[in-house]
Structure 1
């Protein structure tokens, strides 16, 4: 009886945490489907007739469409570069002993611990000197600086958990170092790579500070475009909520697609 009661309490606690986590998303999506009178109603209106007028307005705005495309280009490029550069570095840190390894590991991790606001002004001055302001490249490079440590950190722990006997057996069969990394460590490291890719994409997609400081009009990202509505005396909450929903949707879809490979990665590559 006590075990059932404990499970019941645990289940209720999980439901409360889930409701607390998902309610902001529910409120954002439902607000994007309300008209202005329902949005400003007090007390809040829970039952209403949905409307797509706010989505029609933002999709007819070329600024929103271009900003979403800019965010997609920057986030995808940063994530791919972080995986391509970070996975081999993580493999080297996980399987090789060399001089300065601990210092290199600390350098990778400490880069992620730096507060972004501290580097905003130096990065702006450097980008201005190099003529990189308002370009895709400047955001890709700065996001890569913060995303690469995440990939190295997660993938190093993932590669360390792979039995070294698999690598020894592959060496006896005459496999090269690159082949061992490509055929054994990458397939078995898919869970860590997938998680680090999700984190990298989310950070690159949602980041606002550097996108606001380093861009103007040519390469304005989606979060910056969303903040542009917040001016004047009357805030278009419907358009703001609709834009927020559009911003969240690609991240959610990407996370769902990548998460499918997490369990599969645990069983791939272990046999010849």
Structure 2
């Protein structure tokens, strides 16, 4: 056996090992969603010996899981769209306008610092704010909270994309009679579309999976998100592992489908932003 063959086999073995480590938890969750709780906790079989769809049926008939999914989708889509609109304007301003003492750089760094702060640090202030505004257990409370967090991320991501766009294109448009905002809308924003898509992908994934603020700000199925609703399957005495596995599968499907649909834009956007 030649050294090249040995190297190829070694790489293939490493790849298979990594793939197994990554896919094993996913396989276990999917397989457990078709088992009964007794088969999960007592038999611990590698695959369902008796296939059942009762776990999925029970989620929608008894656990109000449809409400959780709708709440997650509404809060995610609305907050990400609002954050992209405001974040793009903020990122464009930082990238194009120069202030004294390079304050625009400090503003960008400040926004990044806010993103680094652990969410649990500001959990109580956010809760008290929503309590005073009477927005607890509402879509609007979640949307405002998620939008505020996503704006900082959108500004940080989009700034580098706008810096890559030549200023001459916008100046030429303004010479032809466009205003600054029109040049931004007609020239800069379309050219930064791959970066906008990449930013949206990360924002959607983070927002859809957010649990901490959903736990603090929601208490009933009318506003609970999918992660928060799934946590209700953990009882004081026992845990409905089969239903939790089914909830995990259903909760992961929207993100998986979304990622598959926009993966081309993700790679293109990240490549564009990596060129300095």
Q: Give the shorter-chain TM-score range.
A: 0.7 to 0.9
* Aligned-residue offset at 1:192: 1.7
Instruction: Identify the range of structure 1 (160-169 vs 53-62) with the bigger mean alpha-carbon deviation.
Output: 160-169
How far, CA to CA, are the matches of 2:175 and 2:4 in structure 1?
52
RMSD of Structure 2 on Structure 1 (CA): 2.5
* Aligned-residue offset at 1:37: 3.5
Aligned pair partner of 1:228 in 226, 232, 241? 232
How far, CA to CA, are the matches of 2:211 and 2:126 in structure 1?
15
> Do structure 1's residue 56 and structure 2's residue 57 form an aligned pair?
yes
* Aligned-residue offset at 1:19: 2.7
Residues 254 and 265 (structure 1), Cα distance of their counterparts in 2 relative to 1, 3 Å cut? same
How far, CA to CA, are the matches of 1:5 and 1:184 in structure 2?
53
Residues 172 and 2 (structure 1), Cα distance of their counterparts in 2 relative to 1, 3 Å cut? farther
How far, CA to CA, are the matches of 1:188 and 1:11 in structure 2?
40
Contact 2:35 2:48 in 1 (8 A): no
Aligned pair partner of 2:207 in 204, 207, 223? 204
> Do structure 1's residue 152 and structure 2's residue 155 form an aligned pair?
yes
> Do structure 1's residue 254 and structure 2's residue 258 form an aligned pair?
yes
How far, CA to CA, are the matches of 2:44 and 2:195 in structure 1?
46
Contact 1:111 1:145 in 2 (8 A): no
Gaps of 5+ in 2: 271-276
Aligned positions, number: 266
Which residue in the other structure is 2:273 paired with? none
Contact 2:92 2:162 in 1 (8 A): yes
* Aligned-residue offset at 1:36: 2.9
How far, CA to CA, are the matches of 1:139 and 1:210 in structure 2?
8
Which residue in the other structure is 1:194 paired with? 197
* Aligned-residue offset at 1:40: 2.4
Q: Secondary structure at the match of 2:64?
A: helix
> Do structure 1's residue 215 and structure 2's residue 218 form an aligned pair?
yes
TM-score of the superposed pair, with normalisation by structure 2 = 0.85
* Aligned-residue offset at 1:256: 2.2
How far, CA to CA, are the matches of 1:107 and 1:255 in structure 2?
30
Which residue in the other structure is 1:135 paired with? 138
How far, CA to CA, are the matches of 2:107 and 2:268 in structure 1?
31
